[in-house]
Structure 1
Amino acid sequence: MINSTQVIYFTLSAYLDIGQSKYLYFMLIMCLYVLIVGSNVLLIVVICVNRSLHEPMYIFLCSLFVNQLYGSSGLFPFLLVQILSDVHTVSAPLCFLQIFCVYTYASVEILSLAIMSYDRYVAICFPLQYNTIMTGRKVFLLIALTWIFPFLSTVVLISLSAPLQLCGNIIDKVYCGNYSIVKLSCSNTSINNIYGLILTVLSIMAPLILILYTYTKILEVCFSATKQTRQKAISTCTPHLASILNFCFSCCFQILQSRFKLSSVPPLLDIILSLYFLTCQPLLNPVLYGLKISTIRDAGKRLLCGDSAGPSGELISSAFHA
């Protein structure tokens, strides 16, 4: 039996032997990372420098983009090093650090999407009371909740996993996962499993229930509203819904992949789908929100082209406040 304090490194066994092709994959992953960083930073700057976008909807979006920078930075530099390396090992402290980054990223992402759906629910169902309900203080508290809870809950998760007695050090993935380490344990993992279940309910199921409730109410209002109001609601909610569906799909596959051995899935496809969880969301969201929401798109054009046209201090309300 190997005590966890004696495990100084883990071996990531999911990497394929790609020979000289590793340099091509390195360039592809590097370009993808640069694209993710560039697009998210651009939209963060657009929102920050335009006073007309300093509203709850865009502040929540800014928090979402910051989280995507954080999550992708927890994976891509590590992935780039591993692609060029012939020995795919990672030290135990770095492995737990990556688990912390990945789990907090996922939790912040789903909580951010849930809070954004609540913001859209208030804007559509209670447009006259929107400014009263979504005060600056409430926006600050909601954003603080989306970041503080995941960080604290993940610290507890890792503190339960780190002391486990392990019978091996081989992780069948291309990056570290908490459940992969728990499966290596020779000791009792009942507490880990119970806490993992509770954390799943609080971090995933509760936000999804809130999203389902808010969009049920939004649909009720849309069916009874005028055609113009319905079109405004659809134009603003479409990128949000697409982001939610994309994230839910990636989460479902990630859970299935972690809990079960999907032998019917080809190894390369298995790797791609495991990375989808951490790559597609940061890449897709800037495209969805940057191109679909006209206020962000127009502000971005003015920033990039140096065009300061438009009334000074103009207040652009959320797409369906009219």
Structure 2
Amino acid sequence: MDNISSIVMLTLSGLDESWTNRLIIFVFTLLGFILTIVLNLTLIVIIILHRALHEPMYIFLCNLCINGLYGSTGFYPAFLYTVRGSNMISLSECVLQIFVIMTYTLCEFTNLTVMALDRYMAICRPLHYQTVMTRVTICKLLIFIWLFPCGTTGVSISIMLRYPLCGSHIDRLFCQNWALVERLACQNDIVQHIVNGSFFVWFNSLLAFLIFSYVKIISACWHSKQNQHKFMTTCLPHLIALVNFIILTIFDAMDALFGSRDGPNVLGNLMSVAIIVIPPFINPIIYGVKQTPIRTQIKKHFQQIQR
């Protein structure tokens, strides 16, 4: 058993591949990172440059893309460094990665919930939309989207750091909160269970609101062709992104609860990485294809570049 005072470096043992496979993984990972940056930056720049897109829905979409870049930056560089052959990571770097990935995940779900609120107001309460979704309200919601995840993650990590570590091997591709607390910590107490329970309550509360919102939205669109058009152009992309994120979150939770504790697990690694890799990559594509104003502006920019 390692002495807690001597544990300053951790080993990520989730990647056990030959150099040839590592090279292939490195190339595809780097390509995915570059594409993720390009796709998200494209939408961010398009939304910032065009005043017609300075509406609540697009502002929250821009924030979603910023969060996607934030989460990708917390994962890809460290993973690429690991693929090159160094599986060692300092405890402080591990804690930083946990903070970034946890805040990214919480921010993603909170942002998607706020976007559902915006669509609910636009379709079910159109007469009150302009008076409710003011600039002040948007700023408050944006602050909440970031402040709540950062605050709750900070509390969770401060509790996590109370536990001494009795091991230094993490059998995953990156640092995760549950991997340190549940698998490496020498002890666990009721405080951590309360924190985990709070996250569970938070997730289910937002999920209940999302279900309520879309029941109301679908009901309002059922007999209105105008609302049906709004749903297909603005709600459908959001619904696809939302369902995709919820499914990946469930997979990640299943890995945390039932994943192998005896060594590297390919399926567990894929399930845990998917929530960080897929949404930042696929969300800009979904909105870029389905949102006509964004698609139009992207076409204009490419036509100008070709000239």
Question: Normalization by structure 2: what TM-score?
Answer: 0.94
Alignment of 1:55-66 (within 5 A): 55-66=55-66
1:171 matched residue in structure 2: 170
Gaps of 5+ in 1: 308-322
Task: Give the share of equivalent positions with the same residue, in percent.
Answer: 35
1:74 matched residue in structure 2: 74
1:281 matched residue in structure 2: 279
Quote how far apart the aligned CAs of 1:115 are: 0.3
2:186 matched residue in structure 1: 186
Alignment of 1:212-251 (within 5 A): 212-225=211-224, 227-251=225-249
User: Partner letter of residue 297 of structure 1?
Assistant: R
Determine helix, strand or coil for the equivalent of 2:10.
strand
Check whether the contact 1:3–1:164 (CA below 8 A) recurs between aligned residues.
no
1:35 matched residue in structure 2: 35
User: Partner letter of residue 245 of structure 1?
Assistant: V
Determine helix, strand or coil for the equivalent of 2:222.
helix
1:24 to 2:24 alignment = yes
1:261 to 2:247 alignment = no
CA distance, structure 2, for counterparts of residue 305 and residue 118 of structure 1: 35
CA distance, structure 1, for counterparts of residue 122 and residue 216 of structure 2: 12
Alignment of 1:135-154 (within 5 A): 135-154=134-153
Gaps of 5+ in 2: none
Quote how far apart the aligned CAs of 1:234 are: 2.4
Determine helix, strand or coil for the equivalent of 1:74.
helix
Check whether the contact 1:182–1:189 (CA below 8 A) recurs between aligned residues.
no
Deviates more, 1:292-301 or 1:58-67: 292-301
Check whether the contact 1:2–1:165 (CA below 8 A) recurs between aligned residues.
no
Quote how far apart the aligned CAs of 1:192 are: 1.1
2:250 to 249, 252, 255: 252
- Deviations along 1:167-188, one digit per CA (max 9) or x if unpaired, are 1111121100111111222223
CA distance, structure 2, for counterparts of residue 3 and residue 244 of structure 1: 43
Quote how far apart the aligned CAs of 1:283 are: 0.7
CA distance, structure 2, for counterparts of residue 182 and residue 92 of structure 1: 13
Quote how far apart the aligned CAs of 1:262 are: 4.8
Determine helix, strand or coil for the equivalent of 2:288.
helix
2:12 matched residue in structure 1: 12
- Deviations along 1:141-183, one digit per CA (max 9) or x if unpaired, are 0010000010011111111111211211111211001111112
Determine helix, strand or coil for the equivalent of 1:224.
coil
CA distance, structure 1, for counterparts of residue 259 and residue 132 of structure 2: 47
Check whether the contact 2:220–2:227 (CA below 8 A) recurs between aligned residues.
no
Question: Normalization by structure 1: what TM-score?
Answer: 0.90
Determine helix, strand or coil for the equivalent of 1:75.
helix
CA distance, structure 2, for counterparts of residue 219 and residue 212 of structure 1: 10
CA distance, structure 1, for counterparts of residue 258 and residue 171 of structure 2: 12
How many residues end up aligned between the 2 structures? Answer: 302
In the superposition, relative to structure 1, how do residues 96 and 6 fare at CA in structure 2: closer, same or farther (>3 Å)? same
1:320 matched residue in structure 2: none
Check whether the contact 1:107–1:150 (CA below 8 A) recurs between aligned residues.
yes
Check whether the contact 1:157–1:195 (CA below 8 A) recurs between aligned residues.
yes
1:49 to 2:49 alignment = yes
